């Protein structure tokens, strides 16, 4: 691929990636997973710390269990929020939208800028997924439970914190549009006399 073609495909992924919330049964295979993780670790990383580590879960029963525990925690905290109560109380609602693959991007606790590094890795992973015809979605609602009651059960040691849970899978339907406001430019400061 030429450099021009490469940059066009990067822009294409940036503009067309959307959060996907309906997945086909087709499993993400090992080779594809490895490509996603390799793309994730190309992200910029402060002081070249590379503080990330990954947990990959491809077990429908475990994903449902994580969803149920998360929903119970969210319900406890959603007191008074009728909308949230309605969504999280529905037994059929799976916070992972029945995706077959959940990737937890974890960061080594105490590393400076660890959250930034992990989220940059997450965006890389999601853009790579889009380029490979996969859908993805961040599931931030699971972070508290993953770092709380589920952490030990998942074998995540104390020296790591889950930052970015991302589901991945083959989309079952077209993504809905998700328009953005124009960038809010607070200032554009130029040197005096510059064009």
Ligand X SMILES: Cc1cc2nc3c(=O)[nH]c(=O)nc-3n(C[C@H](O)[C@H](O)[C@H](O)COP(=O)(O)O)c2cc1C
Interface residues toward ligand X, by CB under 6 A: 18-19, 21, 137-141, 178
CB of 179 to ligand X, least distance (A): 9
CB of 82 to ligand X, least distance (A): 18
**Beta pairing, strands 101-108 & 160-169:** antiparallel
CB of 137 to ligand X, least distance (A): 5
Place of tokens 């995706």: 99
Encoded tokens for 26: 């087709």
Nearest residue to ligand X on Cβ basis: 140
CB of 155 to ligand X, least distance (A): 23
Residue 111, Cβ neighbours under 10 Å: how many?
A: 19
Nearer to ligand X, 141 or 147 (CB): 141
Nearer to ligand X, 37 or 74 (CB): 74
Interhelix angle 3-16/114-131, rounded to 10 degrees, is 100
Q: Per residue in 139-174, is it b (16+ CB within 10 Å) or e — as a string?
A: bebbbebbbeebbeeeebeeebbbbbbbbbbbbbee
CB of 19 to ligand X, least distance (A): 3
Nearer to ligand X, 144 or 190 (CB): 144
CA distance 162 to 165: 7
Place of tokens 């109560």: 85
Nearer to ligand X, 48 or 180 (CB): 180
Nearer to ligand X, 47 or 72 (CB): 72
């Amino acid at each position: 691929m030429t450099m021009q073609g490469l940059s066009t495909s990067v822009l294409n992924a940036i503009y067309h990636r959307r959060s996907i919330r309906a997945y086909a049964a087709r499993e993400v295979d090992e080779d594809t997973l490895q490509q996603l993780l390799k793309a994730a670790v190309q992200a910029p990383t402060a002081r070249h710390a590379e503080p990330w580590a990954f947990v990959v879960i491809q077990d429908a029963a475990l994903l449902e269990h994580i969803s149920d525990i998360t929903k119970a925690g969210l319900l406890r905290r959603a007191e008074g929020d009728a909308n949230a109560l309605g969504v999280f109380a529905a037994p059929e609602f799976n916070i992972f939208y029945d995706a077959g693959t959940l990737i937890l991007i974890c960061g080594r606790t105490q590393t400076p800028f660890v959250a930034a590094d992990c989220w940059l890795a997450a965006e890389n992973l999601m853009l790579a997924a889009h380029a490979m015809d996969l859908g993805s979605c961040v599931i931030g609602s699971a972070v508290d439970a993953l770092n709380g009651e589920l952490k030990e059960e998942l074998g995540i040691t104390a020296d790591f914190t889950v930052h970015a849970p991302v589901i991945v899978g083959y989309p079952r339907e077209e993504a809905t549009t998700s328009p953005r406001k124009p960038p809010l430019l607070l200032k554009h400061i130029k040197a005096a006399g510059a064009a």
